[in-house]
Structure 1
Amino acid sequence: MGKLQSKIRRRSDLYRASREDGTDNVPVQQVVQYDPAHTDAINCVTTISSDLCASGGSDQVVVVYDWRAGRLCQSFHGHSREVTKVKGVPGTSLIFSASRDKTVLMWDMNSGDGPLKEFCGHELVVNGLAISPDGSRMCTGSRDNSMCLWDIESGECLQKNTISRNLVTHVCWVPGGTSIVQTSEDKTIKVWDSRSWQVTNTFPAKQYIQTHCDVSSNSNYLLSSSNGFGGQGCEATLWDLRQPGCKMVEYRGHLQTTACGIFLPSSHGSPAMVATSSHDCSVKIWDQNTAVCLCTLTLSSAGPLVSLTPCDVSSLICASFNTGLHLLHLSHGAGLDLKEVARF
């Protein structure tokens, strides 16, 4: 019968889930395929409401997608090169997008017209984009070694500070505060004061380039992720922002660059958790405090997994180079389980 057995696999069979207790070959669930959000590699994704996410890609387009309904809502065209970062302003219809064309554009989901504003001030690709908690300021960082602070209403650049070798990879605003955290290709993490526009702390340099950062909702912890190859580097690191530079734990297990690491919303009775995505095509969920890997999902056909965003306590979205956006479901049953449920 072996010769007659079909070797054709459905698209939904192109991943495999496993738990760290050794149980493997978890039964494959049907993955719903919705209309694709982009026509090329996706570089970034962020949640902008309880139902909507925004993404940007190599097709130079910013897309708003209803991930619950599996429906493309809007596409914004205006960048002349690929989109590197997207960010929404909570409670508003505004979306900001950074690009390799050296600009940041501001869009209104309630308008079908072009961008409302264009922010020009960097000389190279803009890789960092963050909005202040009150929605009045924007921070951008670039490979030109500079960090800029903008007034969103006027579009004016309020501050610009250039530091040698500070090739910015990501920035995030500390919730409810005046501090901004940024990662860099110089392997360090810097904390900025948005009032003086000066670096107040620089964390000890890691072994490899720091690719991404995220701050916990209580503003106490920072998660950074690392470049690497062959299992060297490739980790995520938890830092205590109350003691800048104090490394708490490292999350090791990815085999290639860890491109993104995020804090997950807490669920009653569950441990605090973080999620990471990697160029090794896997997403891992970790116990935040013990650094134990709780489960792994491998999307073997997706290529590098470059961006993650939490949707709610049981859903997150992952952006990939080859197969679009992936809606993942996290089950909090007898054992934690991560599954792909939809693709768009």
Structure 2
Amino acid sequence: MGKLQSKISFSTSKYRADGSAEGTGPVRAVQQHGPTHTDAVTSVAALKPDLCVSGGRDKSVAVCSWRSGAALRRFIGHKREVTKVTSALDSNRVFSASRDKTVMMWELHGTSGPSQHFPGHDLVVTGLAVSPDGSQLCTGSRDNTVCKWDTETGECLGRTAISRNLVTHLCWVPGEPYVIQTSEDKTIRIWDSRELQVAHTFPAKRHIQTCCDVSQDGRYCLSSSSGSAGEGGEATLWDLRQTRNRVCEYKGHFQTTTSCVFLPRDPALTPRIATSSYDSTVKVWDQDTRACLATLCLEGSGPLASLAACDSSTLLCASFNSGIHVLQLSDCADLALAEVAVF
């Protein structure tokens, strides 16, 4: 399942919000670029305009142009699968977490080796978030701990363990000292990074929480749930200012929802979010009305692992079987989501 497969046909259907397909006739061929990774891609993140960073089962971290599919840098150093990648806003540094229990920092314009190591977890590292100014890093693991690091020195500035807190994802709240965390114990926690203490815990969900994201204005966060056979698999919107209850849910995936992201705001459009799932679909939702605006099935891609929003109309989707997909939203009579390239 993890090996890359050549795509030999292209979909000619546009999927409605209710999951049905509407024939649209011939469509533009998907641009095929050489694969960035030789095995499943486990994580992708937007880096700078036109650039992204990704990690995979092949143990490598790659920086690519998502417009051309060209791999600009490849970083080798992890001994096992890369689980998460991230970067600071407008930074030349990227960070990667791995099943080898370590986190590494890489310089976009530096050598091919890591510029900093962050060892200290006892199990696979599954959460990774860097502060907006790039000076601090928070990491989380299946060892039930969250750690804070100085990115310049590599010094561990704090370590907190919570029973059964098997971390699945971390993200930093823009402009704030707070970090959002999802866990296999079905909860979403808000950490105050200054003292590395839990500032708030949202009411527990029914299923494992797999991923989280924070809106650009720092007001809302999203979490996604595990699921199977149509049970679970929803995304949930939370208000970070009114933290007692969820705002709403987005239901429509038939299996685990692996990733959820806010799309960058376009003043002319209503706020939108996107989700990806093990059911091989990507969905775009109206944040306020909960309506599913578009659904795209990436046939043959296998489970979808990670999403990244490059701009208000471009998404990157990491897949187990077929690399990184470039998806484009087009506003016409009906919103359409189409695959335009894969690398």
| Structure 1 and Structure 2 fold alike (TM over 0.5) | yes
Q: Distance in 2 between matches of 1:94 and 1:59?
A: 21
- Matched residue of 2:23: which SS? coil
Amino acid at match of 1:52: L
CA contact (8 A) 1:95 1:109 kept: yes
CA apart distance, 1:72: 1.1
Distance 2:280 2:88 in 1: 30
- The verdict on how the C-alpha distance between 1:92 and 1:120 changes in structure 2, with shifts beyond 3 A counting, is same
Aligned partner of 1:24 among 9, 22, 25: 22
* SS of equivalent to 1:35: coil
In structure 2, distance between residues paired with 1:276 and 1:102: 28
Identity %: 54
Structure 2 residue aligned with 1:105: 104
**Cα distance in 2, alignment partners of residues 184 and 130 from structure 1:** 15
Structure 1 moving runs of 4+ over 4 Å: none
2:195 matched to which residue of 1?
196
- The residue correspondences of 1:1-344 to structure 2 (distance < 5 A) are 11-14=8-11, 16-20=13-17, 24-27=22-25, 28-344=27-343
Q: 1:202 to 1:341 in 2, by over 3 A?
A: same
Q: How far does the alpha carbon of each residue in 1:165-211 deviate from its partner, in whole angstroms, 9 at most, with x for none?
A: 00000001100001111000000001111112111111111111000
Whole-angstrom CA distance in 2 between matches of 1:68 and 1:13: 19
Greater shift after overlay, 12-21 or 251-260? 12-21
Q: Aligned equivalents of 1:17 and 1:329: distance in 2?
A: 13
- The SS at the match of 2:48 is coil
- The CA distance in 2 between the partners of 1:185 and 1:136, in whole Å, is 28
Deviation digits for residues 56-91 of structure 1 (CA, Å, limit 9, x no counterpart): 000000011111122111111100000001111222
Task: Give CA deviations for 1:149-168 in whole Å, capped at 9, x if unaligned.
Answer: 00111110000000000000
Q: Which has the larger displacement, 28-37 or 183-192?
A: 28-37
Letter in 2 for 1:254: H
Question: What's the offset of the Cα at 1:133?
Answer: 1.2
In 2, the alpha carbon distance for the partners of 1:17 and 1:320 equals 20
Contact kept, 8 Å, 1:16 with 1:298, in 2: the verdict is no
Partner SS, residue 129 of structure 2: strand
Could you tell me how far apart the structure 1 residues matched to 2:98 and 2:294 are?
A: 33
Tell me how far 1:19 sits from its aligned partner. 2.3
Count residues in correspondence.
336
Give the secondary-structure state (helix, strand or coil) at the position aligned to 1:11.
Answer: coil
TM-score (norm 2): 0.95
Map Cα deviations across residues 304-341 of structure 1 (whole Å, 9 max, x no partner): 01100011121110000000000000001221100000
Q: Is there any run of 5+ residues in structure 1 with no aligned partner, and where?
A: 1-8
Q: Partners in 2 of 1:15 and 1:108 — Cα distance?
A: 41
- Structure 2 unaligned segments of length 5 or more: list them: 1-5
Larger radius of gyration: 1
Q: 1:15 to 1:193 in 2, by over 3 A?
A: farther
Letter in 2 for 1:210: Q
What is the CA-CA distance between 1:128 and the residue it aligns to? 0.3
Structure 2 CA distance for aligned equivalents of residues 125 and 336 of structure 1: 39
Query: Would the aligned equivalents of 1:275 and 1:286 in 2 still touch at CA under 8 Å?
Result: yes
CA–CA separation in structure 2 for the residues paired with 1:247 and 1:24? 34
Mapped partners of 2:8, 2:78: distance in 1: 32
Q: Would you say the 8 A contact 2:186–2:206 is kept in 1?
A: yes
Shift of the 112–153 alpha-carbon distance from structure 1 to 2, 3 Å rule, reads closer
Structure 1 counterpart SS, 2:73: strand
